[in-house]
Amino acid sequence: MVNPSLLIGIPLAFSFVVPLFGLISKKIEKYIPIVALLINTAISFILIPQVLKKSIVVSIGGWSPPFCINLVVGPLGIFLATLISGVSLLISIYAVAYIKKEPTEKYHMLFLLLVTGAIGIVLTGDIFNLFVFFEILCVSSYALVAYNKDKEGAEAAMKYLIQGSIGSGFILIGIALLYGIFGTLNMADIANKITLANPTFLFISMAFLLTGFGVEAAVFPLNAWLPDAHSSAPSSISAILSGIAIKTGVYGIARMIYTIFNAEGILTFVAFLGLITLLIGEMSAFKQNDIKRLLAYSSIGQIGLVIFALGIATSLGVFAGLFQIVSHALAKALLFLAAGYMIYKVGSKSITSLNGLGKKMPLTSFAFTIGAFSLIGLPPFAGFISKFLIVYAAIQVKKPIFLAFIAIALIATVIEASYFFKIVQNLFFKESKNLKNITETSGYIVIPIIILTISIIVIGIHPQLITGLLKEAASELLGRGGYIAWVLGGS
Amino acid sequence: MSVIYNSMYYIASGGLILIGLYIVLVKTNLIKIVIGLNFIDTGINILLICIGYIRGKTAPIFSDPRIKSTSVVDPVPQALVLTAIVIGVAVLALALSIVIKVYEHNKTLNVTKIKGLKW
C-alpha cells in the first residue's frame, strides 16, 4: 500500500531540491515540478480505489489518533488532492515555457510549496496542522503574486498579504478558543465533544474560523484582494490561485460547518452569503475591460455558486457543489492559461486588443471558447451538469426562500453569459488590427490547454467518471459520525 | 479586582489584538500597517500561552524527580506558539520585502497615494 503522507512529502521534498538543481544547471530545474507532480498524481489515482473501500488514517509517531498528528484520507480529501495534483501538474507543464523571468528556480520552488500547502490542508486531520499548511499556502502565494516585481504585482501582493495575514490571525484565534474549550486539536475529537460545550463560546470560535477561511475563499465582504492579486500575478499563478487556492478556503469553510461544528442553523445564511458573492462577482466582471480582472471577478462569482450549493445542505446540493469545484477548477485554469498566452502574444490585457485573434490563434481561441461556455453552463460541457444539479437541488429543497435564491442565481448566470459571449464574439467576428506577426502557440503551452479542453468535454459527456467519488465525498461531509468513527476507531 | 487579576493575560492579549487591528485599519503608512500585523500576531501568541497557563505551576521539563505531571502547565500551547512565532517571522520578512518593492515603484509609503490598482 502506498502511504498517503507521500502526497504531502513529495512536493515538499522536491521543492527544496529545485534550487540545488538550479545551481548545477538551469535546464534541469524547470522540469522538477513536472516530475514531482506526476508522481503525486499517480499516487493519488492509485489511492482512490483503496480510499473508496475504506478510509485511510495515518497516525504519525505511533500514537493513537486523539494524541497524535494524523492525516485523514477520506473520499473528500483524496478527491481534492487528486484535483490539486492534476491541475497543478498541467500548470507546471505550461510554466516550463511561460516563465522566462529570472530567478526561475525560486518560482518553481514556491509553486511546489503552494501545492504542498494545498494538499496538506485537504488531507490533515489536526486543526493546528491545518493552520500551518494554510500559512504555507498563503506565504508562497503572496510571494508568487509579486513574482514579476512590477508595480502592480507589488501593490497587489501587499494588499493580499495584509488581508490574508489578518485572516490567518483570525483562524489562529478560533483555534486557540477551541483548544481552550476542549483541550484537544484533533478535528474528529473536537467534533465528537462539540455538544458538551457552551454554544456561545462555540459561536464566537466558529465566527473567527469562518471569517479567516472566508478571506482565502473570497466570500463577499472579504474579497477585495482577489481581483488585484489574480490579475497582477503571472498567468500560470493566476490559474493555480483561481483553480486551487481559493478552493482550499471553501474546503475549510465546509469542514468547519459540517464536520466540526455541525452548524445547521447558519446554513441558510451561508447560502445567502454565497448568493451575494455570486451576484457581486458577476456584476463586477461585467464592466471590466481587462481580461484577467474579468476572469478574477468571474472566479468570485463561481466560488459564490459553490458556497451557495454547500449551503443547500442536501446530499444532492453538496454533490453539486463539489461537481462545481471540479468544473470551475478545470475551466478557470484553462481560461487563465489560454488568456495568459494571448496576452503574452498581443502584449496588452485589454479585451478590445484581442479582436480578431480567433483567426491567428485558432487553437487557443477555441480552447478559451470551450472554457467560457463551460463556465456559463452550456451543454455538453462539465459546467452544464454542475449548474443544472445546483438548480435542481435548490428546487428540491421546497423552501420558498431557495426558489427566490435560485432566481437570483440564474440572473447572475445571464450576466455571466453576456460578458463571455462578448469576448468570444470579439475573438472570432471582429476585424483584427496590428496582429500581423502573431502565430499559433506550440510546444509546452499547447499540451495543458489541449488536456484541459478534452477533460472538460469528457466530463461533460461522461459525468459518471467522477460521480462515484463525488457521492462518497458528499456523504463524508454530511455524515460527520462516519468521519469521527474512522479517526477515533469505530468504538 | 480579583476578576482583573485572574484574567489579566486575556485582557492583555485581547488589547494587543485590538491595537493591532486599529493600526492596520487607521494608519496610512505601510510600515506602520506591517507593525500592526505584528501586534496581532503577538496578541494571538499571548492568548495561546495564557490558555495553557495555570497560576503557580512550573515549566513541563522533568529535570528534577520532585516535579510531578500534575504540577506543570500545559505544554501543547507553548509548542503551538513556537510554530506560530516562526510563521509570524516569515510573514513579517516577506511583508517588509514587499514594502521595499512598493516603495521602489511608488516612491511613497502612504497607502492613500498608491492607486495603481483602483477598485
pLDDT of B69 over the 60 cut: yes
Mention every residue, 6+ apart, whose C-beta is less than 8 A from residue B48. Answer: A172, A176, A179, B77, B80, B81, B84
Residues in B touching A149 (Cβ below 8 Å): 101
Query: Are the beta carbons of A161 and B98 separated by less than 8 Å?
Result: yes
Q: How far is A467 from chain B (nearest CA, A)?
A: 39
Total Cβ atoms within 10 A of residue A2: 13
Q: What is the mean pLDDT of residues A229-242?
A: 90
Question: Chain B within 8 Å of A227 (Cβ-Cβ)?
Answer: yes
- The closest CB to that of A154, out of B33, B37, B105, belongs to B105
Q: Which residues of B touch A150 (CB under 8 A)?
A: 105
Share of chain A above pLDDT 90, in %: 41
What mean pLDDT comes out for the span A202-217? 92
Residue A326, pLDDT > 80, answer yes
* CA A128 from centroid of its chain's CA atoms: 21
* Residue A342 contacts residue A361 (beta carbons within 8 Å): yes
Residue A38 has pLDDT above 90, yes or no: yes
Instruction: List the single residue in B30, B98, B106 with the smallest CB-CB distance to A146.
Output: B98
| ipTM of this complex prediction, to 2 decimal places | 0.93
Q: Which pLDDT score, from 0 to 100, does residue A97 have? A: 85
Report yes or no: B37 at the A interface, CB cutoff 8 Å.
Answer: yes
With CB atoms and an 8 Å threshold, state whether B119 touches A227.
yes
A166 inside 8 A of chain B by CB: yes
**Tell me, what's the pLDDT at A351?**
83
Taking an 8 Å cut-off on Cβ atoms, the answer to whether A166 and B40 are in contact is yes
Chain A positions in Cβ-Cβ contact with residue B47 (cut-off 8 Å): 173, 176
User: Which three cell numbers mark B69?
Assistant: 505531571
Instruction: Average the pLDDT over A453-458 and give the result.
Output: 92
Q: C-alpha angle with apex B14: A183 to B19, nearest 5 degrees?
A: 145
Residue A79 has pLDDT above 70, yes or no: yes
Query: Is the pLDDT assigned to residue B98 strictly greater than 70?
Result: yes
CB contact under 8 A, A154 and B47: no
Residue of B nearest to A175 (CA): B48
CB-based contact A21:A29 (threshold 8 Å):
yes
- The mean pLDDT of chain A is 88
Q: Cα separations (Å) of A449 from A93, A314, A465, B66?
A: 10, 35, 21, 68
**CB-based contacts of A227: which residues, under 8 Å, 6+ apart?**
A284, A293, A296, A297, A300, B119
Contact: B76, A179; criterion CB under 8 Å: yes
Beta carbons of B47 and A173 less than 8 Å apart:
yes
CB proximity under 8 Å: B 58-97 to A: 74, 76-77, 80, 83-84, 87, 90-91, 94-95
Contact by Cβ (8 Å): B85, A135: no
Are B114 and B102 a contacting pair, CB within 8 Å? yes
Q: What is the 3-state secondary structure (H, E, C) of A278-336?
A: HHHHHHHHHCCCEHHHHHHHHHHHHHHHHHHHHHHCCHHHHHHHHHHHHHHHHHHHHHH
CA distances, A186 to each of A119, A134, B53 (Å): 18, 16, 20
pLDDT of amino acid B94: 93
What are the tens digits of pLDDT across the range A359-387? Answer: 888 888 899 999 999 999 888 898 899 99
A143-162 tens-digit pLDDT: 999 988 888 888 899 999 99
- Among A142-156, A270-284, A341-355, B20-34, the minimum mean pLDDT is found in A341-355
Q: Quick one: pLDDT at residue A491?
A: 45
Angle subtended by helix axes B30-52 and B8-26, to nearest 10? 160
Contacts of B52 in chain A (CB under 8 A): 179
What is the model's pLDDT at position A442?
72
Answer whether B105 sits within 8 Å of A185, measured CB to CB: no
**CA–CA distance, A107 with A240 (Å, rounded to integer):** 13
Which one of A140, A145, A172 makes the best mutation probe of the B interface by having the most chain B beta carbons within 10 Å?
A: A172
Given an 8 Å threshold on Cβ–Cβ distance, is B24 in contact with A142?
no
Which residues in B lie closer than 8 A to residue A179 (C-beta atoms)? Answer: 48, 51-52, 76-77, 80
**Which residue on chain A is closest to B14 by alpha carbon?**
A173
The predicted structure's pLDDT at residue A39:
93
Interface contacts (A, B; CB < 8 Å): 90
Which of residues A226 and B66 earns the better pLDDT score?
A: A226
Domain ranges of chain B: 2-113
CA–CA distance, A408 with A276 (Å, rounded to integer): 9
In CATH, the number for domain B2-113 is 1.10.287.3510
Spatial neighbors of B1 by CB under 8 A, at least 6 apart, are none
Looking at residues A207-232, what average pLDDT do you find?
Answer: 89
